[in-house]
Structure 1
Amino acid sequence: MAGRIRVGIGGWVYEPWRGSFYPQGLRQKDELAYVGQHLTATEINATYYSSQKPATFAGWAGAVPDGFQFAVKASRYCTNRKVLAEAGESIARFVEQGIAELGDRLGPILWQFMATKRFDPDDFGAFLQLLPASVAGVPLRHALEVRHESFDDPAFLSLAREAGAAVVLAEHDEYPAITGHDVGFSYMRLMRASEDEPTGYARDDLVRWTDRAKAQVERGDVFTFFISGAKARNPAAAQAMMVALG
């Protein structure tokens, strides 16, 4: 099943993007619409820190064009806990806050775990059982970003595959780059943008990631986000990759 490659950044409110990515004088309330015109996805970070109102999600959905999708970062109260199996109430509160208002603009939910969180097969397996398949009739896709080397384990990859959850391929100086099994979509977070490169990444690196996305899209949607690193360069990196994709 071939899918679609979407390329984006983390969030849309960042002062150094004003005058570099965003035109001088663009109103802050128009920045998301500008992202929607020039990229094909973005991660919502605000949901990691606090709940949002349904009307807020509806407003975000209305600001971007057809085909654009938001990845939604799950609440830290779901993932930053000692016993993941006890996260059920927090997960329900997160998915029911109004993310269904994004409708067909809803991309994957990003479940991000702290670098100190180690793989416990029983506990993590119980957590995966808590992830709902849909909310208010809107299908949910789940992506797992794990940051401890203990997750580089066939048992973890098997649990994720059985749950239908993608394993985020994170390009980072300190976190392991773990490649999961095919679950019908894939998710990459590229975090090595350099201030010295006008497009964040050297041409050869952009070609390498572009080729990977082209290979992955034969099996379903691909989400690629340029995150952190030299953050000011990330919109340029995303746009360069979109040019490379044609």
Structure 2
Amino acid sequence: MPDVRVGVSGWRYPRWRGDFYPRGLRQRDELAYLAERMSSVEINGSFYSLQRPTSYAAWRAAVPEGFVFAVKGGRFITHLKRLKGVDSALANFFASGPLALGPMLGPVLWQLPERVEFEADVLDDFLSLLPRTTNDAAALAAKHDDKLSESRALTVAEADQPLRHALEPRHTSFDSKEARAVLRAHNVAMVVADTAGRWPEMGDSTAEFHYVRLHGEQRLYGGGYSDASLERWGQRLGGWLDEGHDVYAYFDNDSDGRAPYDAVRLRALLDGRALS
């Protein structure tokens, strides 16, 4: 049965404290509070630096069974290396702890900067390196270099399970049949991104699931979504569910504190479908 996950991109925002998070709620309890109200969250810290297995294990312990984490791939791979020569970097990323999430490990998100243009061979080579199961990820993690000590690396999967990937490009050259064909060949989802018109939405997915990022309706990373807009997104996501596709949707309009409220509202609109 298809499933839909609605959540937010990250959860540690000072602006949310005393607003979405009740005044006096301990910072270490924020993830648990959020997980009572939505079914997924994107881990953002993994984009900025390699995390630790103990951190992933703590996040897993804070949420109820059935919750799902999407994990954002490291910017060293996407922004600095620009997908080229990333064998060791990928091994280090997967050794840094995502496998500690166990059955709560959802898709891995790879976000490209606007300056990275579509190059078919580069994209094809990168997607070919991505592990498609957690056992594959563990085997890749075992190849980590000395940037991670053996005591800090996690190179064993709790159980073998499929591993999904989504790509969020921002250069217009990716909004093409050629780019979609490469993604489709690797069963990697093209992210549908709402960016207040800043970057291409990319419109359709290229895998058996859909991945949506809602960065802002009128203003990038800010403001809130209107009732009418949330209704439209609810219908769109619901249509994908009716077609038999899993859906992941994350609000990133966090600067004004609206993201968690919009996520809760969209989840309510989808209630009664495949929502978990």
Fold-level match, TM-score > 0.5? yes
- How many aligned positions are there? 242
Runs of 4+ in 1 over 6 A off after TM superposition: none
1:232 and 2:275 correspond: no
- Residues 36/121 of structure 1: CA separation in 2 closer, same or farther (3 Å cut): same
- Name the structure 1 match of 2:233: 209
- Name the structure 2 match of 1:52: 51
Q: Residues 74-153 of structure 1: matches in 2 within 5 Å?
A: 74-81=73-80, 84-134=83-133, 135=137, 136=157, 137-153=160-176
Cα distance in 2 for partners of 1:180, 1:146 equals 13
Structure 2 length-normalised TM: 0.83
Q: In the alignment, is the contact (CA less than 8 A) between 2:192 and 2:211 conserved in 1?
A: yes
- 1:178 aligned to which of 199, 202, 206: 202
Q: Decide which moves more: 126-135 or 162-171.
A: 126-135
Which amino acid counterpart does residue 215 of structure 2 have in structure 1?
Answer: M
Q: Deviations over 1:115-162 (max 9, x none)?
A: 111001111111111111122334311000000001011111011011
Q: In the alignment, is the contact (CA less than 8 A) between 1:182 and 1:219 conserved in 2?
A: no
Q: In the alignment, is the contact (CA less than 8 A) between 2:117 and 2:171 conserved in 1?
A: yes
Q: Percent identity over the alignment?
A: 40
Q: In the alignment, is the contact (CA less than 8 A) between 1:200 and 1:233 conserved in 2?
A: yes
Q: Decide which moves more: 219-228 or 186-195.
A: 186-195
- Name the structure 1 match of 2:154: none
Q: Decide which moves more: 34-43 or 73-82.
A: 73-82
SS state of the match for residue 139, structure 1?
Answer: coil
Give the CA deviation at 1:230: 4.6
Q: In the alignment, is the contact (CA less than 8 A) between 1:45 and 1:72 conserved in 2?
A: yes
Cα distance in 1 for partners of 2:82, 2:37 equals 41
Q: In the alignment, is the contact (CA less than 8 A) between 1:83 and 1:123 conserved in 2?
A: no
Q: In the alignment, is the contact (CA less than 8 A) between 1:144 and 1:165 conserved in 2?
A: yes
1:219 and 2:244 correspond: yes
SS state of the match for residue 122, structure 1?
Answer: helix
Cα distance in 1 for partners of 2:111, 2:90 equals 13
Cα distance in 2 for partners of 1:238, 1:181 equals 21
Which amino acid counterpart does residue 233 of structure 1 have in structure 2?
Answer: R
Q: Deviations over 1:46-66 (max 9, x none)?
A: 001111111211111111112
Which amino acid counterpart does residue 215 of structure 1 have in structure 2?
Answer: G
Q: In the alignment, is the contact (CA less than 8 A) between 2:194 and 2:217 conserved in 1?
A: no
Cα distance in 2 for partners of 1:229, 1:101 equals 27
Give the CA deviation at 1:231: 4.1
Q: In the alignment, is the contact (CA less than 8 A) between 1:185 and 1:221 conserved in 2?
A: yes
Q: In the alignment, is the contact (CA less than 8 A) between 1:200 and 1:230 conserved in 2?
A: no
Cα distance in 1 for partners of 2:179, 2:95 equals 27
Which amino acid counterpart does residue 131 of structure 1 have in structure 2?
Answer: L
1:31 and 2:60 correspond: no
Q: Deviations over 1:182-215 (max 9, x none)?
A: 52211000111569xxx92111100000111111
Cα distance in 1 for partners of 2:217, 2:32 equals 24
Q: In the alignment, is the contact (CA less than 8 A) between 2:84 and 2:126 conserved in 1?
A: yes
- Residues 116/144 of structure 1: CA separation in 2 closer, same or farther (3 Å cut): same
Cα distance in 2 for partners of 1:52, 1:230 equals 24
Structure 1 unaligned regions, length at least 5: none
Q: In the alignment, is the contact (CA less than 8 A) between 1:169 and 1:188 conserved in 2?
A: yes
1:66 and 2:65 correspond: yes
Give the CA deviation at 1:88: 1.5
RMSD: 1.7
